[in-house]
Amino acid sequence: MPEAVNPERNPENPILIIGGGPAGLEAAKGIAELGYKAVIVEKANVLGGTPILSSYAALTPDFRSAEDAMGEMIAAVQRPEVDIHLGSQVTAVSGQAGAFDLTVTSAVDGPTQVQAGAAIIATGFQHFDPGRETQQYGYYEHDDVITLVDLERMLKAEQVVRPSNGEPPKRLCFIQCVGSRDRQIGNEYCSKVCCGVAAKESIEVRKLLPDCKVFIFYIDMRMYGYWENEIYWPSQEKYKVNYVKGIATEIVKKGDHLIVRGEDTTMGRPMEVPMDIVVLSVGMEPSEGTKQMAAMFGAEVNKYKFIETVGGALNTVQTSVEGVLACGAATGPADIEDSISSASAAAMKAIAVVRKTAMGVS
Could you tell me where the beta strands, DSSP code E, fall in 250-323? 250-254, 257-264, 269-275, 277-282, 284-286
Q: Considering the rule CB under 8 A, would residue 267 count as an interface residue with other proteins?
A: yes
> In whole angstroms, how close is the CB of 158 to other proteins at the nearest point?
26
Dist CA 310 CA 294 (whole Å) = 14
Among 64, 79, 132, 240, binds other proteins (CB under 8 A): 240
Beta sheet of 277-282, edge-to-edge order:
145-147, 277-282, 171-178, 213-218, 242-245
Q: How far is the CB of 241 from other proteins (least distance, A)?
A: 9
Write the CB contacts of 81 (distance below 8 Å, at least 6 apart in sequence): 31, 32, 35, 36, 37, 38
Report the residue number, 154 or 223, with the smaller CB distance to other proteins: 223
Applying CB under 8 A, among 62, 68, 72, 237 the residue interacting with other proteins is 237
Region from 70-78, 84-92, 117-125, 238-246 binding other proteins, contact rule CB under 8 A: 238-246
> What residues from 288 to 327 belong to the interface with other proteins (CB under 8 A)?
none
Q: Is 224 in the site for other proteins (CB under 8 A)?
A: no
Nearer to other proteins, 55 or 236 (CB): 236
For residue 220, state whether it binds other proteins (rule: CB under 8 A).
Answer: no
Q: Considering only residues 236, 302, 320, 341, which one is a binding residue for other proteins as defined by CB under 8 A?
A: 236
Q: How far is the CB of 245 from other proteins (least distance, A)?
A: 6
Q: Helix, strand, coil: what percent of the chain each, to 5? A: 30, 30, 45
Q: Which stretch binds other proteins (CB under 8 A): 156-164, 233-241, 275-283, 305-313?
A: 233-241
DSSP sequence for 55-118? T--B-TTT--BHHHHHHHHHHHT-STTEEEETTEEEEEEEEETTEEEEEEEETTTEEEEEEESE
Interface with other proteins by CB under 8 A: which residues?
233, 236-237, 240, 242-245, 266-267
